Amino acid sequence: MAFQPIVDVARRKVIYYEALVRGVNGESAFSILEQVTDDLLYRFDQACRVKAIELASELGMEARLSINFLPNAVYEPEACIQSTLETSRRVGWPTERLNFEITETERVVDRTHLRNIIDSYRRMGFTTSLDDFGNGYANLDLLTDLRPDTLKVDRELVMGCDGNPRRQAILKSLVALARTLGTQLVAEGVETREESRCLLALGISVQQGYFFARPQVGVLASVADEKYD
């Protein structure tokens, strides 16, 4: 399990760590997920949640923990969350510091089921994020249906935004939309200082990407003060 920081540039601090699956030899999440068959989805999803919480507690994480989950692995929200709650109690992890990040939305067939999951998590006090917004799958209808607390703007919209007026116009519109909906924006895939500064100027202060730190297995990456300048 690897962790990558999500920072608030304006506040100059790490506010989340996203837990990311890695293989025993450092294989990427994509390569691991390719090997997970549908009949193993539930067990895989549960094991990842438990490991993320255990390791976050062991490492003394003070920021919030964001855990990816596969919607098709959750058959019934209240039942499937039990191992998460039990692990949190066992290691002393505050459940109010858990965020669930919706991934692989393109594979969701039953939109009503996904909405029920999000509504259940919200009632339990968890926050939720919609990943990869703007990549062709996470569209406006999902945003309307799911009403996530956080919207993660895909790298495709972030890449080179400092030199691309069209991307800046789209990002500016997203900022206005997020404010209207009461949703926080997170810019994913920030790789340069110029991109970070442009995003901050547009009103997106919460950012994630290699510019700040790469995901690191079994440790909490720190962010150098100079990255906030």
Catalytically active residues are 188
As a whole number of angstroms, the distance between CA 199 and CA 83 comes to 38
Contact 3, 221 (CB under 8 A): yes
As a whole number of angstroms, the distance between CA 47 and CA 93 comes to 16
Q: Nearest CA to 159 among 201, 206, 203, 211?
A: 211
Which sign, positive or negative, has the C-alpha torsion 150, 151, 152, 157?
negative
* AA identity, residue 68: N
Q: Residue 65: phi, psi to the nearest 5?
A: -110, 125
DSSP sequence for 176-225:
HHHHHHT-EEEE----SHHHHHHHHHHT--EE-STTT---EETS-----G
Contact 93, 56 (CB under 8 A): yes
Residue 65: both structure tokens together: 């923990």
CA angle at residue 56 from 6 to 101, to 5 degrees?
50
